[in-house]
Each structure stands twice: as C-alpha cells, then as structure tokens.
Amino acid sequence: MPLTAPERSADRNPAVARLGVAATVLLTAWGVFAFGAVYPWAYLPLAAAAALLGIVLWKQTTNRAQGLPRPILLGLGGIAAGATLQLIPLPAAVRTVLSPSADLVLRTIDLSFAASAATGGPLVHALSIDPSATWRGLLLLASFTLLLAGLVPFFGRYGVRSMVAPLVTLGVAVAIIAIAQKALLGDGAATGMRIYGFWKPRYMLTTPFGPFVNRNHFAGWMLLVLPFTAACLLGAAEQGVFNRRGGWRERLLWLSTPRGGQLQLTALAVLVMSLSLVMSQSRSGALCFAIAMAVAALAAARRLRSKTMRLGIAGALMLVVVLSMVWSDVRISDRFAFRVDDSIRLRRDIWSVTAQIIRDFPLTGTGLNTFGIATLAYQVVHLDMHFAEAHNDYLQLAAEGGVLLTTPALVALVFTARTIWRRFAERDSRGGSFWPRLGAVTGMIAIALQSLVDFSLQMPGTALLFVVFLAMALHQPRSETPSS
C-alpha cells in the first residue's frame, strides 16, 4: 500500500541528503584537482573514501528496488572475479594451457622468473604478468563499484537535482583555472610551465592543461561535465521560457526573476566550460564535444513540440560552439591539420602492438592494468617512447582481460544500456529527472567516443565522475518504484 505522508517524511532524512551530496562533490573535486588522482597519494585515499561512501549510502537504502540492477552488479562482479583469478599463482603446466605466451613474456620482463627458468626452478606465477599492477586496478574497480552501488539508491531516494549546482560550479572552477593558467603560464612543460604554478610534470614533452598533465585528459573530464551542464540549461529553459504562457514579453520579464538569473548563470557556465575545452586544443575533445552538442540538440528537438523552439535550441547550442571558438582565439583548423598524419600513424602502430597482445593472450589477457608492462616485450617501433596505454580503452581491456574480463564487461554494458533506455521510457522521464539524466548520458557517450582514441577514463578522478553520472543515469526516481 502507498506510503503515508509521515512515512515519506521520515524516510527522507535531509541531513543524510546534504551529507551525501557534499561527500560526493568533495570526492569529485579531489579527483580532478589532485591532478586527476593519478599519483598513489591521490588515488589511494580516493579509492578508500569512495568505497566507504558507497557502503554508507547503501546502508541508508530502505527500498532495495531502487538499488543497482542485479545484472549490472553481476557483470561488474564478474570483472572483479576475473581480475581476482588473474592473481592466483598457478604452476607452469596450468598456466601454459590458459595463457601459452605468458612464460615467454615473463622471461623477457621478469628477471627473477627468467633466472628461475634458467636454473630449472619452480615457475609458479599468476596469470597476470604484473600482479601488483592488477591489484591496483582491482582496488579501484572494487571501490568505484561500491560507490555506484551506493549512489544509485541514494539518487533514487533523494533525487539528482541537488547535484546540479555543485557540479556546475565545480566545472566552472576547473575551467577558469585552466583558462587563467594557460593565459599566465602557457602550456609547455619543457619551457617551464608548472601546473598551479608549482607542480612540475614528470615528462617534459607533455602539454598540461588545467589540473591535468595531458590536455586530452582535461578534455575528457570536461566532456563529462559540459554536456551535463548544457542539458540542465535546456531543462531550465524549457521550464521557464518554452513552457511559459504568454508572449515573448512575459518570457523576457521572467529572465529578470531569481530563477531567470539562475538560467543566465548556467548559460554563462556552459560558455566558460566550452571556451576552456576549445582552448585545450584537444582534437578528440573538440570532435566529441560537437557530437555531444548534436545529441543534446536532437534530444531537445524530440521533447519540444514547437518548431520555433526546436530552431531556438539548435541555434543556441550552435552559438555556444561558435562563441567559444571565436573568443578562444584558437585556430581549430590549424590544430587538425598540424601533424594529423603523425598522430594517426602513432596510434595505428600502438593498435598493431595491442592486436598482437590480444592474439597471444586471447583467453585470460595479460592481467588488469598491465598493458604498459606487456609492451616492454612487444613494442618494436618508436623505441624512443614507451607505449604505456593503448589509446583505445576497448582494445586495452581486450589485451589485459581477454575473454575472461571482456565477457562480463559486455554483460554489464548491455544491461546498463537497457536499464538507461527503460528509465527514459518511464513516466518520470518527463519530470524533473529527465534533463540531468540526459546530460549524464550525453557526457558518458562523449567520453566513450573519446575512449576510441584516448584514455581519459584511466584517470581515477575522471573515472569517479563517470561513476557519479552513471548512477544518475541508472537511478529510479522514488515516484516510479513499486509501493510496499
């Protein structure tokens, strides 16, 4: 039977809601401002805090129907189980059956293993060619899975609108820092540029931007938060402008109200973040940004019935793109024309090496988070650099996990897409959760496309923001859950 008003009030604790939002935003801020949380001093506390927050939020759940759907949880659990199996020490006879090329690679990269093989000693070793690296990957995977399992019911219980203002504010802060840093310090690490004015990147040939050592990683983080902000802007415009009765005079007068002022501030936030993304000169970021804006425009066009409103939305989003390019004073055409062939050739060579690893480790992979170790044995071109990442997260997962990890990953992906599709079809999709959900999904699509040529999601800080948006996309609003 339906809940009574006192039960509803008692079931929603405002203090828990505020603490949950504050903790999530603080974690997200730590992830981005601590250089993407790529260093152990940054990602270890991030992982611990994410796991703790996920457990605490999950314990607050009273309606299990609002939790993370079981098929998705099983898929993620399957990935963790597969990575755990990669860590179990196995005798040579068993390991050779499961991973025939492992011993040859271990003799090349592991001196102690090579010495044991030369003296006829025991060759017991895990399927992972570097168990310590796999442990680190498994730690982050488990922590973020726990956070996801806690955030989904939390958002289902308290909604997602309370997350909009803090995340937009955080996005603007990151964008302003990046713009100011580039204007004052440039972006060449080799010429003395320092992140925040004091942090020296480890590799001098990198092009830092904002808090990130690589401008493509900044673009990846911004590709998540920028479409989210744009979608929330469209939602505010729909409520305050497009659906307002009366003529344009009434709509213009509404812009002078406090809610109209919030709409204008959100529009300014979109423009500032767009400007920072264009100034990063990330080609993958610019392309995926354009695709994300097209997706947002199409979704808005389907939702709005008036042709005038549709044209207005398309024009507004196009104006954002044009203004950000004009004000940034960046010649995008030169960026795409400059050494594009070299960039494509380099990625092609990396993907060729990755394909060889996949062929040699088809069943169990080299071990989660071990791609950079495996290339020490496989890389035969561009020896003046090291292929530490595949520049394609999907190929890298296949190389590191083989069938063992890619199968549960595909299961999780299929059921995640299916669940999100259902959420849009449910009745609340035309209510307050539609636009934040659309923004979260659009951002995830944008960074998923960038992951075809880059590896922004391997930055723990960016991965954490992805988890937050995934929870927003998956959550089931309270009004849609079955009554007990």
Please give the average per-residue pLDDT across 301-306, as a whole number.
Answer: 69
Q: Is the pLDDT of residue 301 over 60?
A: yes
Q: Is the pLDDT of residue 145 over 50?
A: yes
Domain assignment of residue 361, yes or no:
no
Split at pLDDT 50, 70, 90, the class of 383 is confident
**Residue 209 dihedral angles phi and psi, to the nearest 5°:** -155, 125
In contact, 373 and 399? CB cutoff 8 Å: no
Q: How many domains does the chain have?
A: 1
**For residues 91 and 71, what is the distance between their CA atoms, to the nearest angstrom?**
34
Domain assignment of residue 92, yes or no:
no
Tokens of 210: 């904002």
Domain assignment of residue 146, yes or no:
yes
Domain extent, residue 280, equals: 5-85+130-341+387-480
Domain assignment of residue 91, yes or no:
no
Please give the average per-residue pLDDT across 141-159, as a whole number.
Answer: 95
Of 88-92, 138-142, 267-271, 317-321, the one with minimum mean pLDDT is: 317-321
Q: Is the pLDDT of residue 167 over 80?
A: yes
**For residues 80 and 144, what is the distance between their CA atoms, to the nearest angstrom?**
11
Question: CA of 80: how far to CAs of 137, 143, 146, 282, in Å?
Answer: 10, 11, 12, 33
- Name the nearest CA neighbour of 398 among 409, 382, 388: 409
Of 27-36, 100-109, 197-206, 274-283, the one with minimum mean pLDDT is: 197-206
Write down the pLDDT at residue 116: 85
Split at pLDDT 50, 70, 90, the class of 340 is low
- Name the nearest CA neighbour of 311 among 323, 300, 325, 326: 300
Split at pLDDT 50, 70, 90, the class of 433 is confident
- Which has the higher per-residue pLDDT, 311 or 270? 270
Domain assignment of residue 457, yes or no:
yes
Domain assignment of residue 270, yes or no:
yes
- Which has the higher per-residue pLDDT, 383 or 323? 383
User: b/e for 362-384, b at 16 or more Cβ within 10 A?
Assistant: bebbbbbbbbbbbbebbbeeeee
In contact, 237 and 266? CB cutoff 8 Å: no
Q: What percent of the chain has pLDDT over 90?
A: 57
**For residues 55 and 481, what is the distance between their CA atoms, to the nearest angstrom?**
22
- Which has the higher per-residue pLDDT, 396 or 482? 396
**For residues 331 and 12, what is the distance between their CA atoms, to the nearest angstrom?**
51
Q: Is the pLDDT of residue 386 over 50?
A: yes
Domain assignment of residue 467, yes or no:
yes
Write down the pLDDT at residue 242: 59
**For residues 305 and 101, what is the distance between their CA atoms, to the nearest angstrom?**
59
Of 57-71, 328-342, 400-414, the one with minimum mean pLDDT is: 328-342
Hey, which residues does 125 pair with through a beta bridge?
90
Find which of 103-107, 187-191, 261-265, 465-469 is predicted with most confidence, using mean pLDDT: 465-469
Write down the pLDDT at residue 430: 47
**For residues 360 and 377, what is the distance between their CA atoms, to the nearest angstrom?**
12
- Which has the higher per-residue pLDDT, 383 or 470? 470
pLDDT tens, 178-224? Answer: 999 998 888 887 777 889 989 888 777 678 999 999 999 999 999 99
Q: Is the pLDDT of residue 229 over 50?
A: yes
Find which of 205-214, 450-459, 469-478 is predicted with most confidence, using mean pLDDT: 450-459
Of 22-36, 110-124, 350-364, 465-479, the one with minimum mean pLDDT is: 110-124
Of 39-48, 129-138, 154-163, the one with minimum mean pLDDT is: 154-163
Q: Is the pLDDT of residue 427 over 80?
A: no
Average pLDDT score, the chain: 86
| Position 461, amino acid | G
Please give the average per-residue pLDDT across 50-73, as a whole number.
Answer: 87
Q: Is the pLDDT of residue 34 over 70?
A: yes
pLDDT tens, 435-451? Answer: 899 999 999 999 999 99
Write down the pLDDT at residue 300: 72
| Whole-structure pTM value | 0.91
Tokens of 363: 């069943």
- Which has the higher per-residue pLDDT, 466 or 327? 466
Split at pLDDT 50, 70, 90, the class of 484 is very low
Domain assignment of residue 288, yes or no:
yes
Write down the pLDDT at residue 5: 38
Write down the pLDDT at residue 483: 37
pLDDT tens, 245-259? Answer: 556 666 666 677 777
Please give the average per-residue pLDDT across 421-426, as a whole number.
Answer: 87
Please give the average per-residue pLDDT across 137-151, as a whole number.
Answer: 97
**Residue 376 dihedral angles phi and psi, to the nearest 5°:** -60, -30
Write down the pLDDT at residue 168: 97
**Residue 89 dihedral angles phi and psi, to the nearest 5°:** -65, 130
Find which of 99-108, 122-131, 356-365, 416-425 is predicted with most confidence, using mean pLDDT: 356-365
